[in-house]
Structure 1
Amino acid sequence: MGFGKVKAALLSLNLIVGTPASNPLSCTKDIFASLTLDAIHVASLNVTAASGLPISGYLSTDDDTGRRRQMPLTVDICLVTLTYTHPGTGDNVHTYIGLPLDAENWNSRFLMDGGGGWVAGGQEQVLTPVGLGYVSSSTDGGHNASVTTAEWGLKAPGKTNWPALEDFASRALHEAALLGKMAIKLYYKSEPRYSYWNGCSTGGRQGHMMAQNYPELFDGIVGAAPAINWDKFITAEFWGAFMANILVRTDVQPPSCVFSAFRDAAIKACDLLDGVKDNIIALPGQCHFRASSIIGETVDCIEPNGKITITKKMSDLVQAMWDGPRSAEGKFEWYGFHQDTNLSAILSPSCTSVDSCTMVPFSIADDWVKVFLERNANFDTETLTLQDYTRLFHQSVDQYASIIGTENPDLTKLKRVGTKMITWHGMQDQLIMTNGTVDYYNRVMSGDPDVADYYRFFLAPGVQHCHSGAGFDPSATTFDVLRSWVENGTVPETLKATAAAVGSSNTSSTRTGNLCLYPKVFTYTGDDPNEASSFSCV
């Protein structure tokens, strides 16, 4: 979750306590009876005081590795659950608000933690922040995580549930922030000193939505690996499945080991472009490796076991996923994945033997095409032609950009209210194309050359979606860096990150580096790849 080191975070609970109402506080329904908004109708309000509630959150360890492990925590919490509807829409939204039960444990800050995939948020999202001293709120966005996308996304076959999509995209999130801050005032008789958003993926998109529309609600926003450009990149995620159907339906469909063979060959060809052998393509723009280079090679596979020969159609599929979708006229539609990305994550082969596999598309992309574009949960995507795909891509942009695209480059309001935002994106991201975020930041910069005064972007070579991978992962430090920028005025010129150590000079299993403020490039300029001083921003 990027909250920084646990010890420092827990110590901060005692170091930066505000001066709210005297204790003990009464966590009762009566306290929150006025918790509502003009545009909603409250169906139910539940308030629970819980002491020693067991929770678990992914927090950083306090050792030198910088890696995450799951640490059990308990929390004393005042938990508020509000169920409401927007009259006339037929929706049903749940908002969850967690407050440290004892005012002395509140650090005078408000923090919302983002969701993932089709999950806008939920009760789990508030527990760990409260354990760290924050008040937190979250929302299910109008649908339970256990229901299918079609169940909430369609009113009936052929009819999009527009109110439900609006809840998920923005409305319920905005309301959760407003309600969370109202609850603080009702419970503590005080306002938060600082308010934050912290999210990645869908949570990163949510953070950007807040930055574009409601920046006055937050002092700082982390929006990592953001699922912005939703109307484009989700359809682009389906490109691999579509091309697999077009190209290899009559050929041997590749198991995961084949995708790995292409990735390994690309890394072998381009790893040393930056002068360091570390299983990372740090300069993908200079990597001109073509998938066709290994046609005819034999791959030894495990799970399933066997040997398989790489065909031209397999190479065409991989190259198409690297290049990104093109229209029926051959025009660029969206970006592809970098060559050191694990393509099996977006197009997962299900195999009974090495030469008998079925391509399983990423579920969110599959949902998008069936539920929101074809508006038919049972639609057979294997019937799609390139003309069909082009039509669907443009339909997605035309019908959904305004509601969930989250790609408005005008951040004038963010700048005016003084909110700070940090974005980082892993260059091995296997779900969201890294260059889509680069594209967005470039568009923001073209409108405001001084964007770095309030919005800073960092690329993370070798990092997968939100965290992990062989490369320099800043997920454990970013939130602390944001807080320091907001509260102390410490402007982040770099972003500290941790990677696996390489070569023979390592004295530990990891190495650190300082990621560069875009458009500067993280560049190896020294003698020892395990020393942070060997990398510069050029």
Structure 2
Amino acid sequence: MPHTRLVRSSLTVGSALALAAAALVAGQAPATAAPTTVAPTTAALAAAPAATVACSSLVGLKIPAHRIGLPTTGAEVTAATSMPASGTGPTAIPAYCRADIAIHPVDPAAPDIRMGLALPEGWNGRTMMFGGGGYNGTVPNLAQNVPFGPVDQRTPLGRGYATYASDSGHQADTTRHPIASLDGWFGQNDEALRNFSGDALKKVHDTARFVITKAFGRGPATTYFAGGSTGGREALAVAQRWPRDFDGVISAYPAWNAATLDLFFGRITHEFAKPGAFPSKVQQDLVAQRVLAACDGDDGLEDGVISDEAGCDFDPETLLCGEGETPGATCLAREQVDAIVAADGSWRLPYRVASGERGYPGFPLLSGARMSTPILGFGTTAPADPMPVTAGYGMQFWNQWVKYFITRDPQISPFAIDPADPGEWQRRISELTALQDVNDADLRPFARAGGRLILIHGAADELVSHRSTIDYYQRVQRVMGKRATEEFSRFYLVPGANHANFAPVAYSASYDSLTALEGWAERGVAPENQVVADGNAGAGRTRPLCAWPTWPAYVAGPASEASSFRCEM
């Protein structure tokens, strides 16, 4: 790693696995297993469709613990299924073998790491590891696109990548929480918590590499990682902790300072739970409408997108009800405005934590982000104890963090801990920041190894602030210097894009970051003059993808074409 050329596989999944079948079945049994399994004969392999027989022969493959870079008790393929080709055009997926794998913990009380691996026919020699989301807990879709990926291009698996992903070391249960990614029960176990915080990434990568090498007779030529939100944190974690494992990384809207973000979630939980502070959905929409009316045209074009988010100067006092007005569809109460200002504003921690983080910069609610986005927004019900499932995603995230990560007491109230004055829990919070804040800005080892990073964030994100990503990127620049940083990384903000393109969204980011990353990592062609399309149905518009700190300003010409804009500071 890195690789200067891509060697394409001449083996299909069926033929590659058939050639390796005897080694897989007979040579990898554990020392305690009884009696040794005999590999199928050549005649037996030829008697049935090769892909089916070869794929099924993966079942029982053992991955020794010493082949995994962090402590485990080994891993094994628990199931293998031949999947037929499907789809056409951008949705086309080749036939592939799906292997389900369990990585076993050292602590017998900890859950397995469950992972999936897709081995496609006509493998192109590349691999893609996907990150997760929220508290993880489920194995992501192996046929998915990269975050903010292009709607008119094939996904990595569709392009012939071997893809893999995991639940990060625990299995969510929707009987505990109806939204799987909000089930934080695993935080009660130290090994499961370490796996979620990053250790599972190394274990899954090494396990996947072992199985891929056995299946195809050689290792991958080029390796990539892509993830958003928690997955974006994971993307930065692999670049920081294992700089030689991946040739290229796509980190989208990364929750890199996860524990500090949790503390900010706690802050807004307390703020919006105050009497009269929670705005209704109608009022949340009103805030977004007023902000858009004030700042939409600042970029030279009224198109429903605030391009210069940092330049949006909206006065929240204009939201207040006047004399004789009742808070509702046309105005807000003082308590509501104060809570929104608190959520939008920068917050400084009044005590030191082990990760070194000092606070959180707030969400851009008064410069383009919508509070009322379903699921990922601020919810339709004020936070309370017990926490309603209709409360904001971040507020529910805090509730789980308090119960399972900090106190490990499922019965405790989310209001029992004040994030600004946690008392007896301050030491535990500090420990969690050291574990969960992935904030090492020294990416020189990754850059020296030839690694390439594409960092991308929506400027209207209501769940993970793009301001925080700006903070991290500035730290990298301070450590490495601006020129050295530009030699291996790009950071793009997408005006109008929210968290994970969750509908409704003003600008649904559709950008072919993977092709750009391939060209950079494999051929040394750095991304230049990039374009991001609006993936909303019927939108039919493009914008230049401006490297931070620039943003797209309208100059002249058709408003739907990127050529009518230029990147300005």
Pick the TM interval, shorter chain: 0.7 to 0.9
Counterpart in the other structure of 1:335 = 361
Match of 2:434 in 1: 402
1:19 is aligned to 10
- Deviation of 1:139 after TM superposition, in Å, equals 2.1
Q: Which structure shows the higher strand fraction?
A: 1
Cα separation, partners in 2 of 1:106 and 1:365, compared to 1, 3 Å: same
Residue 493 of structure 1 aligns with an amino acid whose one-letter code is E
Listed as ranges, the matches of 1:174-253 within 5 Å are: 174-246=202-274, 249=275, 251=276, 253=278
User: Partner of 2:39 in structure 1?
Assistant: none
Indicate whether 1:322 and 2:344 are aligned. yes
Q: Deviation per CA, 1:43-81, whole angstroms, max 9, x where unpaired?
A: 653242414277x9xx9x75xxxxxxxx58573315242
Residue aligned with 1:425, SS: strand
Aligned residue runs from structure 1 range 93-492, under 5 A = 93-100=113-120, 102=121, 105-119=122-136, 122=139, 124-125=141-142, 129-146=156-173, 148=176, 149-154=183-188, 161-246=189-274, 249=275, 251=276, 253-296=278-321, 309-326=331-348, 333-338=359-364, 339=366, 340-344=368-372, 345-350=376-381, 360-362=391-393, 363-382=396-415, 387-388=420-421, 398-449=430-481, 450-467=484-501, 471-492=506-527
Instruction: Determine the C-alpha separation between the residues in 2 that align with 1:455 and 1:74.
Output: 31
Percent of residue pairs identical: 23
2:73 is equivalent to residue 41 of structure 1? yes
- Quick one: structure 1 residues 80 and 91, their matched pair in 2 at CA, closer, same or farther if it must change by over 3 Å? closer
Q: How many residues align?
A: 483
Q: CA deviation at 1:471?
A: 4.9
Q: For structure 1, which runs of at least 5 residues remain unmatched after alignment?
A: 1-14, 63-70, 155-160, 352-356, 502-507
- Deviation digits for residues 379-411 of structure 1 (CA, Å, limit 9, x no counterpart): 22345557536987x657621232221111010
User: CA separation in 1, counterparts of 2:516 and 2:131?
Assistant: 18
Structure 2 CA distance, aligned partners of 1:294 and 1:192?
56
Distance 1:451 1:43 in 2: 38
Question: How far, CA to CA, are the matches of 2:137 and 2:457 in structure 1?
Answer: 20
Query: What amino acid is the match of 2:172?
Result: A
Measured in 1, the distance between the counterparts of 2:496 and 2:526 equals 25
Distance across 2 between alignment mates of 1:316 and 1:332:
22
Task: Look up the SS of the partner of 1:342 in the other structure.
Answer: coil
Counterpart of 1:167 in 2: which secondary structure?
helix
Q: Report if aligned partners of 2:116, 2:164 keep a CA contact under 8 Å in 1.
A: yes
Q: Is the 8 A contact 1:300 1:307 kept in 2?
A: no
1:365 deviation in Å?
2.7
Contact 1:53–1:77 (Cα < 8 Å) also in 2: no
Q: Output the CA distance in 2 between the equivalents of 1:311 and 1:432.
A: 26
Label 1:386 to 1:201 Cα distance change in 2 as closer, same or farther (>3 A).
Answer: closer
Report the alpha carbon displacement of residue 99 of structure 1 after superposing the two structures with TM. 1.4
Q: Which moved more, 1:264-273 or 1:467-476?
A: 467-476
SS of 2:433 mapped into structure 1:
helix
The answer to whether the Cα contact below 8 Å between 1:253 and 1:358 also exists between their aligned partners in 2 is no
Tell me the SS of whatever aligns to 1:198: strand
What is aligned with 2:56? Answer: none
CA RMSD of aligned residues (A): 3.4
Bigger Cα displacement from structure 2, 488-497 vs 177-186: 488-497
Cα pair 2:550 2:567 within 8 Å, conserved:
yes
Unmatched 5+ stretches in structure 2 = 1-5, 29-60, 145-154, 177-182, 352-356, 383-387
Contact 2:117 2:142 in 1 (8 A): no
Amino acid at match of 1:438: I
CA shift for structure 1 position 34: 4.9
Q: Tell me the distance in 2 between the aligned counterparts of 1:260 and 1:396.
A: 38
SS at match of 1:388: coil
Task: Classify the secondary structure of the residue corresponding to 2:380.
Answer: strand
Cα 1:466/1:494, change in 2 over 3 Å: farther
Conserved in 2, the CA contact under 8 Å of 1:294 and 1:310? Answer: yes
- Cα 1:358–1:389 shift into 2, 3 Å: farther
CA drift at 1:473:
4.4
Change in Cα spacing, 1:391 to 1:471, as seen in structure 2 (3 Å) is: farther
**TM-aligned CA distance change 1:46 to 1:521, over 3 Å:** same
Q: Match of 2:460, SS?
A: coil
Inter-partner Cα distance in structure 1 for 2:194 and 2:229: 18
Q: CA deviation at 1:487?
A: 2.2
Cα distance change on mapping 1:370 and 1:174 into 2, 3 Å: same
